[in-house]
Chain A
Amino acid sequence: MKTYEVFLKREGKDPFTHAGSFDAPDEEMALIYARETYGRRGEGEQMWVVPRTAVLSANEKELAMADRDHKHNDGLRVAELRRISTGEES
């Protein structure tokens, strides 16, 4: 038995999302199990079934480190400068 991960995509613009996992002996059965376990009430229009071993997990610390202040702008400074430029500051 091999563990598979299932991803479903609804009709429209939603991205694929993880639905869950299950065990199956081979690819043919994996597709049947995936449909019967996660997609039997129109939960998705498209389905990806991926062997768990094929999923590479990113290092969470490095992932967190990739996020830096200079990649965001919270707009506070913009608001302040707008006030100054329109002469609202007394």
Chain B
Amino acid sequence: MRAWRDMDEFEGFLDAGGVVEPNDEMPEPYRQAVFRFIELHANSEYMGGLTERDWIPKAPGLHRKLTALAKTQDEIGHAHLLYMVAADLGIKTREEMMVDLLEGRTHFHNVFHYRVHSWTDQIAVAYLVDAAALASQQAVFKNCSYGPYKRILRRVIAEEGFHMRNGEEMMLLMAHGSNTQHEMMQESIDRWWLPAVQLFGPDSRPNDELLRWHVKSERNEDLRDRYVQKFVPQLLACGFTIPDPGLEKDQTDGKWKISPIDWEPLKQTMRNGGPDSARRISDARNAWNNAAWVRDALTNQPAST
């Protein structure tokens, strides 16, 4: 167990590449900030996992059902791992985090506040959203000062790669499939492009404490820009259009420039007031309540006969 005299000494430790462990006497603001960040991540994985589950029976064919099943287990597993890491910070128990989420007192990422309308929406989520989530997780993994989070992200990232490759495979099949398939995929890209780009959040504040404390190692705008530079050409190459009339290639540096982003939709999701927020939260609450008997059966000793 280590302790630091004050915030200056602690920040010096972090700047020198120091890694914080749960039994260290870390400054309270750091503990709180790391906790909130991991809790948000865990909640998002959980809500994402529940949507994934909805598509297991609707996925076309056995192979897609099995991969949807595997992905569901991964996402719920990510939530599980992250809730464990968050609980060890000693601020809330796993159950308290779950109840706060289901009561709408805490938050989850914007992309899980929208309705998934079709199978191609599900593909767009895997291809565009999992990729965006993966990019931001990689930026945390790279240099995260909180040891348990960094270590568990290694596993999460490996599995996100699997989701993203599945997504790309299915997207390519649709891109080069029938006209109807291509059109359906285009509709889904139109629905999911902006939420995926907004997932990175508004430009990082100059004094973002998560950056200063080396939890995140890249600014939101840099991650977003890298995402745009990678995905715009990929989508165009597949014969799709990007739902952004202001999108253009800068003639001087050859980089893709997107239109200014309206952050109001993101703000609404952060108040749990997105288009599908209420339904998603009540669906999660139902799942939790319906599984109460399983938790009871696990925690209670078997009745003596």
CA A19 to CA B148, docked complex, whole Å: 10
CA A48 to CA B259, docked complex, whole Å: 53
Please provide the chain A residues from 1 to 26 with a CB less than 8 Å away from any CB of chain B in the complex.
Answer: 1, 3, 18-23, 25
Tell me whether A57 is interfacial, beta carbon within 8 Å: yes
Residues A37 and B77 in contact, CB atoms below 8 Å apart: yes
Tell me whether B237 is interfacial, beta carbon within 8 Å: no
CA A29 to CA B300, docked complex, whole Å: 13
What chain B residues lie within 8 Å of A3 (beta carbons)?
A: 84
What chain A residues lie within 8 Å of B88 (beta carbons)?
A: 21
What chain B residues lie within 8 Å of A29 (beta carbons)?
A: 298
CB distance from A47 to the nearest CB of B (A): 14
Binding site for B on A (CB under 8 A): 1, 3, 18-23, 25, 29, 36-38, 40-41, 57, 60
Residues A57 and B84 in contact, CB atoms below 8 Å apart: no
What chain B residues lie within 8 Å of A41 (beta carbons)?
A: 159
Q: A interface, by DSSP: helix, strand, loop or mixed?
A: mixed
Residues B299 and A1 in contact, CB atoms below 8 Å apart: yes
Closest to A57 in B: B23
Tell me whether B115 is interfacial, beta carbon within 8 Å: no
What chain A residues lie within 8 Å of B159 (beta carbons)?
A: 41
CB distance from A8 to the nearest CB of B (A): 11
Residues A20 and B298 in contact, CB atoms below 8 Å apart: no
What chain B residues lie within 8 Å of A21 (beta carbons)?
A: 84, 88
Question: In the complex, which of the residues B73, B77, B84, B85 contacts A23, with contact meaning CB atoms closer than 8 Å?
Answer: B84
Question: In the complex, which of the residues B1, B84, B298, B299 contacts A22, with contact meaning CB atoms closer than 8 Å?
Answer: B84
Residues A20 and B151 in contact, CB atoms below 8 Å apart: yes
Tell me whether B53 is interfacial, beta carbon within 8 Å: no
Residues B80 and A37 in contact, CB atoms below 8 Å apart: yes
Per-residue A-contact encoding for B76-88, CB less than 8 Å = 1, 0 else: 0100110011001
Residues B1 and A20 in contact, CB atoms below 8 Å apart: no
